[in-house]
Amino acid sequence: MSQDMNQPVNSPQAILNRDDPKAPVLMAVTGASGSIYAFKFMEILSRERVDVHLVVSDTGKMVIQHELGREKAEQLLDMAARIYPVDAIGSAPASGSSKWRAMVIIPCTMGTLGAITSGHSSNLIHRAADCFLKERRPLIAVVRETPLNRIHIENMLRLHDAGGIIFPAMPAFYQKPVTLEDIAEYLASRIADFLGVPVQIPRWHGI
């Protein structure tokens, strides 16, 4: 397959062209605040008929229940094409031979980020992220923390340099959102758009 010489070999566009666009997206939810982003991202991909395989950390489960409530937490799980236990280190996402469209950690704790950048694979989320990096597949970390200390910043740079994409949970306001749902929907749509999923989002055309 021909490759645009101006396109980095590990860019999301380059790799999405290489792999099957019908391959599932691996979505990981960790214990940072921002479960609404995960719900909206899952909702968008489900609406666009993109299969999503899901893995949720133990603290992620607690935060989802707290922030979304039981009904929405169950809806999130129901939308997944497949769910892996976080300790299922021998499952498909733990192997580089498995085909995936991308991995999105949404939201991503700084602890998860630190484990990935240190190569410490103590659960399926860490191991899967390690596989995505070594296979040069898109790995997006939707980090959510404030303020940031030096360790956080250095780990974000390390993930970037290893081929990952830092996609902070920073909502935009030029589209004039009215509700919290609008804010979360826009950020989740930007991530889907970044991965080449055909979504309709407000685009900036200048003032």
Rounded to 5 degrees, φ, ψ at 52 are: -125, 125
Residue written as tokens 């602890």?
111
- 141 - beta bridge partners? 105, 166
pLDDT at 11: 56
pLDDT at 205: 87
Percent of the chain residues past pLDDT 70, beyond the cut: 90
What would the mean pLDDT of 148-172 be, rounded to a whole number? Answer: 97
In sign, the C-alpha dihedral spanning 24, 43, 157, 32 is: negative
Domains and CATH numbers, the chain: 18-171 (3.40.50.1950)
pLDDT, one tens digit per residue, over 169-182 is: 999 999 999 999 99
CA dihedral 86, 91, 95, 99 (to 10 degrees): -100
What residue spans of 48-135 are helical by DSSP H? 58-79, 110-117, 124-134
pLDDT band of 38, cuts 50, 70, 90 = very high
For the entire predicted model, the pTM comes to 0.91
pLDDT at 19: 59
How far CA 129 is from CA of 110, 112, 132, 142, in Å, comes to 14, 10, 5, 13
Instruction: Return the amino acid letter for 129.
Output: A
pLDDT at 207: 86
Mean pLDDT for all residues in the chain? 91
Q: Has residue 12 got a pLDDT over 60?
A: no
pLDDT, one tens digit per residue, over 54-109 is: 999 999 999 999 999 999 999 999 999 999 999 999 999 999 999 999 999 999 99
pLDDT band of 13, cuts 50, 70, 90 = low
Scored b (16 or more CB within 10 A) or e, 159-181 reads beebbbbebbbebeeebebeeee
